[in-house]
Amino acid sequence: MIFSSKEDIEAPIDAVFSAVSHFGNIERSALRRGARVQRVNRKTHPSTLIAWDVGFTFRGKKRDMLVELTDLDAPNRMLVQSLTGGLEGNVSVDLVALSKNRTRMSFELEVRPKSLSARLLVQSLRLAKTKLSKRLNIKVAGFAADIEDRYKDGRLA
């Protein structure tokens, strides 16, 4: 199952990539939302660059996830893979320079079940795909607006 979103951002591609790949900010954001985040030295994929153990509560149950950055092609692409409880996910962020000060960010999340319980979860996600896609689009648009604001204020290189 794939969810995707695109946003045009009024900032140069290097500044957008800097914001998207600032892992310290991403870690702090997850911590503020109640997740447990810890960088680890574990690699399950040969091309893993950075890995994190992440813990969070979903549907009233504590979950653990291994998240790995497996591809980083500055300033064009970033690929993050994750594995939790029989559910495998890939998040890719692709950036394209539309002009000197305008960048298109494409965000794609692919979720694949690897167990029966994960298949049931993905089936319930399919039923709510329209609602979830709208929520994703709102989140990506908010992130893009935040990047634009930080760039205009000079807080982003």
Instruction: Name the pTM for this structure.
Output: 0.89
Q: Which pair of structure tokens corresponds to residue 90? A: 């890939």
Q: What average pLDDT score do residues 24-51 get?
A: 88
Q: State the chain's mean pLDDT as an integer.
A: 93
pLDDT of residue 37: 95
Q: What is the pLDDT of residue 119?
A: 95
Q: For 3-34, how does the pLDDT look when each residue is reduced to its tens digit (9 = 90+)?
A: 999 999 999 999 999 999 999 999 999 999 99
> In this structure, are residues 144 and 48 in contact, taking their beta carbons and an 8 Å threshold?
no
Provide the CATH number for the domain formed by 2-152 in this structure: 3.30.530.20
> Residues 36-49: what's their mean pLDDT?
84
DSSP, collapsed to helix, strand or coil, labels residue 130 as helix
Q: Tell me: the pLDDT tens digits for 100-149?
A: 999 999 999 999 999 999 999 899 999 999 999 999 999 999 999 999 99
In the chain, what's the furthest Cα-to-Cα distance?
A: 49
Give strand ranges (E) for 24-117: 36-40, 50-58, 61-73, 77-84, 87-99, 102-113
Q: How many CB atoms lie within 10 A of CB 16?
A: 26
Average pLDDT over residues 49-77: 92
pLDDT band at 150 (very low <50, low <70, confident <90, very high): very high
For residue 157, pLDDT over 90 is answered with: no
pLDDT, tens digit, 9 for 90 and up, residues 72-103: 999 999 999 999 989 999 999 999 999 999 99
Mean per-residue pLDDT, 24-50: 88
